[in-house]
Amino acid sequence: MKTLQTARPAFPGDRAAQLFRPLLLVFVLAIVVLEFPGARERLESPYSGIRTQNLVVQSVEADGPNVASGIVAGDEIVAIDGHRLRNRLHLQHLVASNHDFRPQQYELRRGDEILRATLQYTVVPRRTLMDSAALLVVALLFLGVGLWVYLRRADAVATLFAINCTLLAVFLTDRPSTQNPFWQLGGELISDALILLFPATLLHFFLRFPERAAREGKRRTPWLYLAPAIIFASSAVVATRHFQFMPTPASASSLVLAASTLYFVAYVLASLVVFVRAYRTSPRAQKAKLRVVIAGTLAGILPFLATTLRATIWPEHTTVRVALLLGFVPLSFGYAILKHGAIELNAVVRKSLVYAVLTGILVAGYYIIVQSLGTYLSREFGVSEYAWLPFAVFALAVAFAPVRERVQGAVDRLFYRTDYIYRQEVVDFGRSLARTLSRDEILDQFLRRVDTLLHPSFAVVYLRDGSRELARARTDGPAPDTPETFAADAFLGRYLTRFRTPLPVEYLDPSWERPRLDAESRALLSVPGLAVCVPIAAPDRLIGMLLLGQRRSGLVYRRADNELLETFADQVGLVMENADLIQSSIEQERLKSEVMLARDIQQALLPETPPRMRDIEIRGRMVSSTEVGGDYFDYFALDGERVVVAIGDVSGKGVPAAMLMASLQAVFKNRALKGDLPPGELNRELNDFLVEHAKPGQFATFFCGILDVPRATLTFSSAGQCPALLATGSFVDRLANGGTVLGARRTQDYAEGTVAFRPGDLLLLYTDGIIEQRSPGGDFYGEERLVDFLRTNRNLPPADLQNALLDDVLAFGQGTQEDDITSVIVLRKTA
């Protein structure tokens, strides 16, 4: 399962668990190192056939060398060869140091009576050696599985599991004896401490695994270790007094033994109850993962517990062989880890099959070339068959790669049909996506493939909508209620962006979820029936994600299924990114063409040359921005004495604005030339035209003025346009008479104004692109700045004045132009 693989690098476990790692590794190394001399000592030590526990005889083998010694179960060994025994490690040393297997004098206590017996020794029987070897195998299984899980997940749960495996390995392995009294006492105390620690760590582990949050366990953790600490303190006092031959009441030893037994039984039973209860409340996928673990745990722990109880009641009937059943525990955990993704077991088996078949083919090829063909050629041509050996090696080396590929394909088709089909589907899916540019078609193919191969109960696709949110884009099947949007910067979004692998929701452990998930991620992952969350990612960002429900077959998603989803999603992300880039390029080209068309339309509306009128100079100029707007200006002669000047701006950008202005210009010019209407009436008819023909929301501003040269007057009307500026001497007048914008409502009246336009006067018409130009600080150029500019520069020739105005506006915006800049300058020349 990929969650287990990514848990450690993504989210380190408890800090204490990580700091504990070196200590645990050193402890495991010590167990392995001490096992070698310990096993050798057991193999070479004299064998008496008498089994003891804490210097008390537990049983005497019926076919052993001392069956006739008179020793019975319950006798306490007091001394050997006159050496008074301090503890069991002292006994082990005295027996192991008897290298010549000579008989030893034992002094025993039976009730109030002291007995003496001479014990004979033999070599260790074969059955005992086999039992020891079996226990060593079980111990190594515990060590191996515990260490393996711990190295893959250095969190508190993995640490507790490794500690329990290590403790059980300690109980099942041997350590060499020592003649140093200090180490004899220390070894006994350490052994007692580890035995008492095991039930507490076992219960601690099951309180955290699989369905407990870390904070729930932390509240009760200190209390778990209080009982063993008290018992160990009492046991250490009794053991130390006994070691120093100090008088110790028999009742004290009995009380410590009874408390230890009760504590051990209670904690182990509680561990099993907690584990089974947690299993019953686990999700369906978690149960599938833990079913074998529970079976193996019960098969290993229950007999061990029964043996412990039996040893307390009938010591003479116990046997250490029942500890072999503990091997079910690491094996069941190991099987569950292998089965659910710690390593890809299928890959190991597949490679084994491939190379087994390949080896057979190569051996057969070697035999044919060297033995058969070589023998024949040697007989015919007299050349030694060994001369063909280099040729055979070369031929087999050349054939190795193609043969391996063919064998790999055959093995996959015969034994791993599903994986073979998945690989073919990946290839076919990639080919089909290569011909697709539409997002909808890409998602159709993606969801169709997923449904055909995996049969999810539902599928929900979220795609990035150009912001920080993922929006729900597609729902297939009877999906439960899911949020419309999901923040890409929530924990789940960051997780998928970083690791880009499917998150198997049905395997998530609440102890992993609760400390890390924010409310939004927790709500999404709590959707009923949700099984897998698959990221859809481009090379540099998260495009979306796919939520899949549980499989309709009731099966859980396997590692191979998640790998298929990951591959499909990677392909979809890459193709979707490319499709977006292509569509963006197409859209940019379309917009570019539209801008060029709009600019052409706009330029076509402008007058090519000003009318030739005595004493009048007219200059018009428009500088388009990146997005072509609806600016327009015009001037033309009505007759030999009157000139029409106009400027306008249509709402919107691009071709629609340009087309509307083209229509407006046609109506305006037609009515001005043929109807001989005053400016107010012209604006009124233009307004009615826009109300009738423009789309909703389309408006225009317009300024129309008629200059009567002989009368030296300017009659004008403004329809929401920026007020024209009339500069007379040092005075600048605003010409704002008129009404609202064109197209707002029908039958709108527009007022007119008439001003004198004498020699030396200058008229400036302009659009809002000038006064609404922004500086980098966000300030507007504004009408006041424009009036000041006109006062300062009004004596410039119209062409120079227009250029200076453009330069000043662009300098104010520091080179950035936000809208079309349009102006018309009319100068009444002096005589």
Q: Could you read off the pLDDT of 489-513 as tens digits, one per residue?
A: 888 888 888 888 888 887 776 655 6
CA angle 757, 761, 764 (to 5 degrees): 95
* Domains in the chain: boundaries: 345-415, 438-580, 606-828
Q: Are 546 and 536 in contact (CB under 8 A)?
A: yes
pLDDT at 804: 95
Q: What is the pLDDT of residue 230?
A: 93
Q: Quick one: average pLDDT of 428-432? A: 70
CA–CA separation, 828 and 831 (whole Å): 10
pLDDT of residue 363: 53
Best CA proximity match to 106, nearest among 68, 77, 86: 77
Q: How far is 825 from 827, CA to CA, in rounded Å?
A: 7
Most confidently modeled range among 2-6, 78-82, 290-294, 520-524: 78-82
Beta strands in 35-162 (DSSP E): 50-53, 56-60, 76-80, 83-84, 104-110, 113-119
Q: Is the pLDDT of residue 521 over 90?
A: no
pLDDT attached to residue 620 = 93
Is 535's pLDDT higher than 80? yes
Torsion of CA 582, 584, 586, 587, to 10 degrees: 160
Look at the domain 438-580 and name its fold: Beta-Lactamase (3.30.450)
| Contact assessment for residue 679 and residue 642, using Cβ atoms and an 8 Å cutoff | no
- Res. 582: pLDDT tops 80: no
How much is the pLDDT for 280? 72
| pLDDT exceeds 60 at position 84 | yes
In the predicted structure, residue 414 carries a pLDDT above the cut 70: no
Confidence band (pLDDT; 50, 70, 90) for 698?
confident
Band of pLDDT at residue 98, cut at 50, 70 and 90: very high
Question: Is residue 532 within 8 Å of residue 566, measured between CB atoms?
Answer: no
- pLDDT exceeding 70 applies to what percent of the chain? 72
Lowest mean pLDDT segment, chosen from 6-10, 26-30, 315-319, 412-416: 6-10
Q: Flag the least confident range among 216-220, 554-558, 652-656.
A: 216-220
Query: Over the stretch 709-759, which tens digit does the pLDDT of each residue have?
Result: 899 999 999 999 999 999 998 899 999 999 999 998 888 899 999 999 999
- CATH topology for 606-828 is Phosphatase 2c; domain 1 (3.60.40)
What number is the average pLDDT over the span 790-806?
93
Element (H, E) at 482: none
Average pLDDT on 654-661 reads 76
CA distance 431 to 443: 15
Average pLDDT over residues 106-110: 93
Question: Quick check: 89 pLDDT over 60?
Answer: yes
Q: Exposed/middle/buried for 313, CB within 10 Å: 0-12, 13-18, 19+?
A: exposed
pLDDT at 278 over 80: no
How many Cβ atoms from other residues are within 10 Å of residue 720's Cβ?
Answer: 21
Give the per-residue pLDDT at 494: 87
pLDDT of residue 18: 55
- Is 554 or 226 the better-scoring residue by pLDDT? 226
CA geometry: angle at 829 spanning 828 and 831, to 5°? 135
Give me the DSSP letters along 531-599: EEEEEEE-SSSEEEEEEEE-BTTSPPPPHHHHHHHHHHHHHHHHHHHHHHHHHHHHHHHHHHHHHHHHH
Is it the case that residue 448 has pLDDT exceeding 70? Answer: yes
Q: In this structure, what token pair is assigned to residue 184? A: 């004899």
567-578: burial string, b at 16+ Cβ within 10 Å, e else = bbbbbbbbbbbe
What is the reported pLDDT for 443?
Answer: 85
Handedness of CA 60, 61, 64, 70 (dihedral sign): positive
**Do the two domains 438-580 and 606-828 of this chain adopt the same fold?**
no
User: How much is the average pLDDT of 304-323?
Assistant: 54
Of 472-486, 584-598, 805-819, the least confident: 584-598
Q: Which of 54-63, 463-472, 702-711 has the highest mean pLDDT?
A: 702-711
Q: Reduced to 3 states, what is the DSSP secondary structure of residue 124?
A: coil
Counting Cα atoms < 13 Å in the Cβ hemisphere of 682 gives 31
Asked whether the predicted pLDDT for residue 20 surpasses 80, the reply is no
Say if residue 564's pLDDT is above 80.
yes
What is the model's pLDDT at position 802? 94
The CA-atom distances, in angstroms, between 685 and each of 60, 636, 665, 750 are 125, 19, 12, 10
Residues 366-380 have a mean pLDDT of 57
Q: Which of 783, 803, 614 is nearest to 708 (CA)?
A: 614
User: Is residue 752 a contact partner of residue 703, using CB atoms and an 8 Å limit?
Assistant: no
Q: What is the pLDDT of residue 325?
A: 64
Which range has the worst mean pLDDT, 166-170, 553-557, 716-720?
553-557
Mean pLDDT, rounded, of the chain:
79
Q: Of 42-56, 341-355, 412-426, 598-612, where does mean pLDDT reach its minimum? A: 341-355
Predicted pLDDT at 686: 92
Write down the pLDDT at residue 658.
74
Report how far residue 509's alpha carbon sits from residue 507's, in angstroms, rounded to the nearest whole number.
6
Q: Token match 């073979």: residue?
A: 420
Q: How large is the angle between the packed helices 782-793 and 798-812, nearest 10 degrees?
A: 140
pLDDT, position 810 = 92
Q: What is the rounded end-to-end Cα distance, in angstroms, of the chain?
A: 95
Residue 477 CB partners (closer than 8 Å, separation 6+): 451, 456, 457, 458, 459, 549
- pLDDT, tens digit (0-9, with 9 covering 90-100), for 232-262: 999 999 989 888 888 878 788 889 888 988 9
CA–CA dist 300, 772 (Å, integer):
83
Could you tell me the two tokens for 240? 């130390």
- pLDDT of 420 above 60: no
Residues 6+ apart with CB under 8 A from 691: 743, 744, 745, 746
What's the confidence (pLDDT) of residue 357? Answer: 52
- pLDDT of the residue at 407: 57
Q: Supply the pLDDT for residue 334.
A: 53
